[in-house]
Structures are given as structure tokens and as C-alpha cells.
């Protein structure tokens, strides 16, 4: 084992000087990336670090019992929350959830690629679903979309417009392109099409979740429920998908309805 603070030797495969170049060149590059080679504004990062100090003083200390229980007892979340990466949508904030309540999976346009046995693409999403359902045994899975979604806007514009500068993003959006097929037969365009795409995308991702064996097993055992939500950025409201009527309804109307 290499001594602490010293770079490990690559043995007889390469000379020591070459090994040092191999080991330290990436480190030098990393330092340059972190520290930068030119002056950059630090106000934003300082604000975030100051925010952590306030969190420790104003929130953590007043909720120490909660955090100690989470640290010692593990996690037991109420739901797997699948949402978009958009910085304007904060799952814990819009649901008034506490730490430990939500197991959160976020990506561009809250996409759930279909499960295909033997295929290892997009493993992050599948791994999170399997961990949440099989290991954590969450009783609820929520797919939450939101209005004015930049990812879906790019999908409407055509992923090929992103190929040169953001090829990974372009490929990800092509995985979600199936949702457009459902809207091509409707007389929609402009803002109406963009808005309807948000709702249709949530339904499609719920259907894709059903392709995961871990989810179908949990459904057969009657220990998990699926939910589709859309959060409105403009007014803060939430609409909820009703599978009985195949439509989205205002949250207040759903909560007021008698239980079925």
C-alpha cells in the first residue's frame, strides 16, 4: 500500500518518472479547473457557502433530533419523486416535505426511459427506481412535470438542433420523442402544443415506469401507487392525473372529492 501523502507506484509496468506524470497531470488539470486560471466572480459561491452556515445555525440546530434520527436510523421516504432538473422547481419546497420524506430523482424533462432487459443505457434512472421500490420500499411513485419546461421546448424544436454542442442532451431528448407522436394528430400549435406536451409527457413516463419488473411486482403485491403531477411555474398550482377519467384535475378538486 502506498504511504499516505505519496502517489502510488505503477510497479514494473512503467518507470517512476512516467508514473508521476500520469498520476499528477490529471491532478494539475483538476486544480486548474477548480481554482481557475483567471479571476472569476465569487459572490454566488460565497452566498451559497454563507447559506450553509445559516442552515447549520438556524435549521440544523433547531431540528437536531430529526437529523440525528435520520443519521442513525437510515432513510424511510414516503415517495420516490421523479422530477425535472429545472432550478425553479424544488421538490421539497413545493410539497412542504421534510428531510427524509422524498427520495428524489431528477433529470432533463422528468424522463423515465423504458426498461429493456439486457440494455444498460440510462442506468441511473433504472437504478434509482429499483433502489427506491425494492430496497427502500417506497409506497408512492410520483412523476412531476412542470410548465415552461426547457427540455420539452428543445424537444419541440428538434433534438438535431442540439447535436453539435450538446450531443448527450440531444440523445436524451430523442429517448423522449415518443411523446410527440401522441400530439401530432391533434390540432395544436404554439403555446397550446408546448403546454399539452408537459401533461402528455407525465402520462408517458408513468407508462414507462410500468415496464420495470420491480414496479410491476410491487403493484402485484399492492404496496405501491403511481401518481402524475404537473406544477405550474406561473401561479404555483398543481394538477393531478386522474386515471379513472384520463385527465388532469386541480389539486384542490381532487382533495375535496370523496374517496373512492
Which residues, 6 or more positions from 7, have their beta carbon under 8 angstroms from its beta carbon?
19, 20, 23, 24
Query: Which is nearest to 79 in space by CA: 225, 212, 208, 209?
Result: 225
Query: Which is nearest to 249 in space by CA: 233, 236, 235, 230?
Result: 230
What are the beta bridge partners of residue 225? 140
Which residues, 6 or more positions from 76, have their beta carbon under 8 angstroms from its beta carbon?
100, 136
Query: Which is nearest to 228 in space by CA: 150, 173, 116, 146?
Result: 146
State how far the Cα of 53 lies from the Cα of 223, in Å rounded to an integer. 40
pLDDT tens digit string along 79-116?
Answer: 999 999 999 999 999 999 999 999 999 999 999 999 98
8 A C-beta contact, residue 78 and residue 138: yes
State how far the Cα of 84 lies from the Cα of 145, in Å rounded to an integer. 7
Pick the more confident residue, 182 or 140.
140
Give the start-to-end residue ranges of the domains of the chain. 14-74, 75-256
pLDDT band at 182 (very low <50, low <70, confident <90, very high): confident
8 A C-beta contact, residue 55 and residue 116: no
Q: What is each CA distance from 161 to 142, 158, 197, in whole angstroms?
A: 31, 6, 19
pLDDT tens digit string along 128-151?
Answer: 999 999 999 999 999 999 999 999
Helix pair 190-209, 150-157: axis angle to 10 deg: 110
Q: What is the reported pTM? A: 0.83
State how far the Cα of 216 lies from the Cα of 131, in Å rounded to an integer. 14
- What CATH number does domain 75-256 carry, 3.10.450.50, 1.10.10.10, 3.20.20.70, 3.40.1050.10? 3.40.1050.10
pLDDT tens digit string along 155-179?
Answer: 988 878 889 899 999 989 987 888 8
Evaluate the CA torsion angle 109, 115, 121, 124 in order and state its sign.
positive
Amino acid at each position: 500500500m502506498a504511504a499516505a501523502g505519496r502517489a502510488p507506484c505503477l510497479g514494473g509496468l512503467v518507470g517512476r518518472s512516467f508514473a508521476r506524470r500520469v498520476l499528477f497531470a490529471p491532478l494539475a488539470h483538476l486544480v486548474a479547473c477548480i481554482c481557475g486560471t483567471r479571476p472569476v466572480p465569487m459572490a454566488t459561491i460565497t452566498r451559497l457557502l454563507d447559506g450553509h452556515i445559516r442552515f447549520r445555525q438556524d435549521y440544523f440546530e433547531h431540528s437536531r433530533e430529526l437529523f440525528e434520527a435520520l443519521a442513525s436510523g437510515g432513510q424511510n421516504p414516503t415517495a420516490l419523486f421523479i422530477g425535472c432538473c429545472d432550478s425553479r422547481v424544488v421538490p421539497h419546497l413545493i410539497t412542504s416535505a421534510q428531510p427524509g420524506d422524498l427520495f428524489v430523482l431528477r433529470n432533463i424533462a422528468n424522463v423515465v426511459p423504458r426498461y429493456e432487459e439486457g440494455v444498460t443505457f440510462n442506468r441511473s434512472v433504472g437504478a434509482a427506481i429499483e433502489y427506491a421500490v425494492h430496497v427502500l420500499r417506497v409506497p408512492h411513485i410520483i412523476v412531476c412535470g412542470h410548465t415552461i419546461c426547457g427540455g420539452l421546448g428543445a424537444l419541440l424544436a428538434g433534438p438535431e438542433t442540439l447535436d453539435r454542442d450538446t450531443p448527450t442532451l440531444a440523445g436524451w431528448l430523442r429517448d423522449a420523442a415518443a411523446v410527440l407522436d401522441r400530439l401530432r394528430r391533434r390540432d395544436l400549435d404554439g403555446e397550446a402544443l408546448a403546454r399539452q406536451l408537459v401533461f402528455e409527457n407525465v402520462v408517458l413516463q408513468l407508462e414507462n415506469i410500468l415496464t420495470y419488473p420491480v414496479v410491476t411486482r410491487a403493484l402485484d403485491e399492492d404496496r405501491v401507487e403511481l401518481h402524475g403531477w404537473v406544477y405550474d411555474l406561473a401561479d404555483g398550482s398543481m394538477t393531478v392525473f386522474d386515471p379513472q377519467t384520463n385527465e388532469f384535475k386541480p389539486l384542490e378538486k381532487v382533495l375535496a372529492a370523496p374517496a373512492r
